């Protein structure tokens, strides 16, 4: 079956979710939500998932208006935010965290705060809420980008909202931190950093992508191994689950749209969601 690049990325992220630790829905990272639901519907049905105040929530259909309501239905507990963040983020129980920053650099620092100087920004962005703590304390960190350009993958971030340090296994163990790498997943490639001595290296290339294309569009130096495998492509079952059950409205494609396309895209989703909810009144 023909797949889209966002679907390939979703499946790659889903691979990192297993039943060994807790994964939390971060703030507005719809592609990551789709990955977590996919993992729970396939290889990791008992992976504990937290969304909002819903603890050990079931996998849910993604939508712009009602995913949260579905998360509370079938959750195993309701906890205040401070209970879940203290227990998971700071309790060495966090497994996978996805961030979707405006910028990231070769040190692993990411920026969700400002474009331009901090005091007089050109663009004030939303901020990172718990991401500085999460990125530092979880086992695995994944930053994903809807486009692979030097504007996102920069030489140096304008401001480090957060960033994992240390990264090396030994240094993390010594400080009692969970050991795991930082990945960057883009429409071209998967990059990985697992040592403080080295920058990101190319872990895999998506089908049809060359090393040169990745290097040319990355604002920081990359380690290029001699042999680079191809990223696995989605299976038919994965694509079916994503399109028919997990994300029938296509919310997870949001990160791949240009700003000018978004308004129309949202309008279309909302029209479909309205129609479905309206029909429930008639029933």
Partner 1 sequence: MSSKGPNKLVPLDQLAELVPDGSLIGLGGAWLSNHPMAAVRQLVRDGVKDLHPAETMGSMDIDLLVGAGLVRGVTFGMVSLEAFGLAPHFRRAVQEGEIKITEMSGLALNFAFEAGARTLPYLPMPGLGLSEIPKRQPNWYAEINDPFTGADLLAVKALVPDVAIVHASRASARGDCQYDGPMAIDPEVARSSRKVVVTCEEIVSDDVIEGSPHMTKIPGFLVHAVIEAPFGAHPFTHVPRYGLDAWELRDYAAVAADPVAWPEYLQQIVDETEEEYRDRVLPRERRRVIENLARASRTLKAEEGNK
Q: In the range 30-89, which residues lie near partner 1 by CB under 8 A?
A: 30, 37, 40-43, 45, 52-53, 58-70, 72-74, 78, 80-82, 85-86, 89
Map residues 85-124 to x or -, x wherever contact with partner 1 holds by CB under 8 A. xx--xx----------------xxx---x----x-xxxxx
The phi, psi pair for 182, rounded to 5°, reads: -110, 130
Q: Is 89 exposed, middle or buried (0-12, 13-18, 19+ CB in 10 A)?
A: buried
Does the footprint of partner 1 cover residue 239 (CB under 8 A)? no
Stretch that binds partner 1, among 15-23, 159-167, 188-196, 199-207 (CB under 8 A): 159-167
Q: Which of 137, 189, 218, 231 binds partner 1 (CB under 8 A)?
A: 137
| H helix or E strand, kind and range, residue 133 | helix 131-137
Q: Which of residues 177-236 bind partner 1 (CB under 8 A)?
A: none
Count of residues engaged in binding partner 1, rule: CB under 8 A: 83
What is the distance between the alpha carbons of residues 113 and 115, in angstroms, rounded to a whole number? 7
Stretch that binds partner 1, among 145-153, 160-168, 192-200, 213-221 (CB under 8 A): 160-168
Nearer to partner 1, 38 or 214 (CB): 38
Q: What is the residue whose two structure tokens read 């700003």?
A: 259
What is the distance between the alpha carbons of residues 71 and 33, in angstroms, rounded to a whole number? 12
Does the footprint of partner 1 cover residue 131 (CB under 8 A)? yes
- Joined tokens for residue 168: 């090396």
Nearer to partner 1, 55 or 185 (CB): 55
What is the distance between the alpha carbons of residues 278 and 265, in angstroms, rounded to a whole number? 20
280: left (phi over 0), alpha (psi -120 to 50) or beta: alpha
Does the footprint of partner 1 cover residue 128 (CB under 8 A)? yes
End-to-end Cα distance, the chain: 36
């Amino acid at each position: 079956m023909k797949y889209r690049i966002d679907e390939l990325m979703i499946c790659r992220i889903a691979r990192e979710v297993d039943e060994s630790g807790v994964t939390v829905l971060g703030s507005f990272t719809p592609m990551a939500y789709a990955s977590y639901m996919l993992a729970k519907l396939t290889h990791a049905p008992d992976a504990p998932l937290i969304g909002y105040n819903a603890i050990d929530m079931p996998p849910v259909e993604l939508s712009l208006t009602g995913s949260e309501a579905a998360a509370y239905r079938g959750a195993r507990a309701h906890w205040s935010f401070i209970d879940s963040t203290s227990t998971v983020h700071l309790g060495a129980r966090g497994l996978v965290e996805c961030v979707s920053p405006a910028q990231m650099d070769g040190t692993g620092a990411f920026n969700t705060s400002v474009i331009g100087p901090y005091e007089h920004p050109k663009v004030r962005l939303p901020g990172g809420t718990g991401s500085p703590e999460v990125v530092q304390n979880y086992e695995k960190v994944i930053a994903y980008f809807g486009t692979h350009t030097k504007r996102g993958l920069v030489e140096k971030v304008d401001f480090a909202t957060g960033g994992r340090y240390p990264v090396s296994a030994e240094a993390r163990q010594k400080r009692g931190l969970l050991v795991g790498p930082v990945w960057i997943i883009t429409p071209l490639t998967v990059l990985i950093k697992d040592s403080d001595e080295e920058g990101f290296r190319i872990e895999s290339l998506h089908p049809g992508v060359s090393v040169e294309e990745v290097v040319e569009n990355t604002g920081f130096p990359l380690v290029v191994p001699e042999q680079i495998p191809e990223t696995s492509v989605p299976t038919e079952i994965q694509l079916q689950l994503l399109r028919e059950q997990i994300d029938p409205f296509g919310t997870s494609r949001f990160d791949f749209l240009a700003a000018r396309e978004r308004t129309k895209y949202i309008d279309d989703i909302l029209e479909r969601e309205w129609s479905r909810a309206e029909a429930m009144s008639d029933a």
